[in-house]
Amino acid sequence: MLEKIENLKREFDAEIQNANDKNAVLNIKARYIGKTGKISEILNEIRDASIEVKKSVGAKSNEIKIEIGEKIDKKMQQIETDEINENLAKNWVDVTLTDSKKDLGLNCAGYHPVSIVQREIEDIFISMGFEILDGPHIEDDYHNFEALNIPSTHPARDMQDTFWFSDKKHLLRTHTSTIQVRGMESHKPPFKFVGPGKVFRCEATDASHEVAFHQLEGMLVDENVSVANLIYFMKTLLSEIFKKEVEVRLRPGFFPFVEPGFELDIRCLNCGGKGCPVCKQSGWLELLPCGMVHPNVLKYGKIDTEKYNGFAFGLGLDRLVMMRYKIDDIRHIHGGDLRFVKQFAEF
């Protein structure tokens, strides 16, 4: 009987060596150590044998059974590794490979002017200790309106004609102020961050209005924040961007999520203040709506309004780009015309 077990083991060794896919291995497993497999057969055969035979054959069978089990596991692992390697070899891609450089947007045109200015502003804010946050283009009512103190009945919703999805619950965000709400959800005060991004409004387009444009939201929450702090940060930002003192004016402005709210205008750099289509002949450009965060907004953000307050602003990125590069029509920015984009090649 012991010899039979030895033979069985030799047979198994030969078979397992030749098996080269998972099914074959599973088949061998069933035939040798399965419930009705060869080992079980042997154990059945010795059911009526003497205690000594049972002991020795039983022990040997168990030993072989364990050995077979281990070899099967090893073989399975080996087959899996081979499969992975084979797959890698088949689907191998050289990620460093570049084809003709002239077809790549980056090489033929450079960064888009909005990207150039956005990165520059991010750097300015990073140097002032701000974090950069992101948020989704598709938002829900809560993040775009409700948590910003704009309940569904509020007429301020009319200020932002909106692209709603057919479920009437989701929309393309109308402003980056959604990032304020998301920032408060993920941060404990004190904090300061900016959130750049694309926003969408159902607008009639003209030289200074587009249905999709860029904003850069900013929020700072701490103890004892004042309007003076807000003005300081805004002035630092603008003089860094334009590399010179820019003429600004502050007017009261209404936004439900700030109190008090302001419109920070800059003297139109396109026409020097004489009046042009970009500034709607007024000589001034509305660039930076801002204000002290409304306590209701902080409450939605679960912030203790007894202890903390803050300011927020929403920079119109496209307008800034237009000022910087003296672009006279916002529609160029989204026109996708390479002759336009090529002029700003910076890497």
How far is CA 337 from each of CA 28, 329, 342, 346, rounded to the nearest angstrom?
Answer: 66, 13, 9, 17
Asked if 312 interacts with ligand PHE (CB under 6 A), we say: yes
Asked if 290 interacts with ligand PHE (CB under 6 A), we say: yes
How far is CA 136 from each of CA 48, 142, 176, 302, rounded to the nearest angstrom?
Answer: 74, 13, 9, 21
Among 113, 291, 301, 310, binds ligand PHE (CB under 6 A): 291
Asked if 117 interacts with ligand PHE (CB under 6 A), we say: no
Degrees to nearest 5, angle at CA 303 with 143 and 188: 90
Asked if 313 interacts with ligand PHE (CB under 6 A), we say: yes
The CB-of-319 to ligand PHE minimum distance in angstroms stands at 12
Q: Output 200 or 313, the one with its CB closest to ligand PHE.
A: 313
Q: Output 193 or 313, the one with its CB closest to ligand PHE.
A: 313
Rounded CA gap, 153 and 335, in Å? Answer: 36
What lies within 8 Å, CB to CB, of 27 at 6+ separation is none
Asked if 135 interacts with ligand PHE (CB under 6 A), we say: no
CA 240 remoteness from chain centre = 28
- Is 283 within 8 Å of 309 (Cβ atoms)? no
Q: Output 219 or 268, the one with its CB closest to ligand PHE.
A: 219
DSSP one-letter code for 294: P
Asked if 314 interacts with ligand PHE (CB under 6 A), we say: yes
The site for ligand PHE, by CB under 6 A, has a size of: 11
The CB-of-257 to ligand PHE minimum distance in angstroms stands at 6
Pick out residues in 159-188 that bind ligand PHE (CB under 6 A). 175, 177
Asked if 194 interacts with ligand PHE (CB under 6 A), we say: no
The CB-of-289 to ligand PHE minimum distance in angstroms stands at 4
Closest CA to 39 of 75, 5, 78, 85: 5
Q: Output 183 or 261, the one with its CB closest to ligand PHE.
A: 261
Among 33, 42, 238, 258, binds ligand PHE (CB under 6 A): 258
- Is 173 within 8 Å of 135 (Cβ atoms)? yes
How far is CA 203 from each of CA 52, 159, 210, rounded to the nearest angstrom?
Answer: 94, 11, 6
Asked if 113 interacts with ligand PHE (CB under 6 A), we say: no
Binding site for ligand PHE (CB under 6 A): 175, 177, 255, 258, 261, 289-291, 312-314
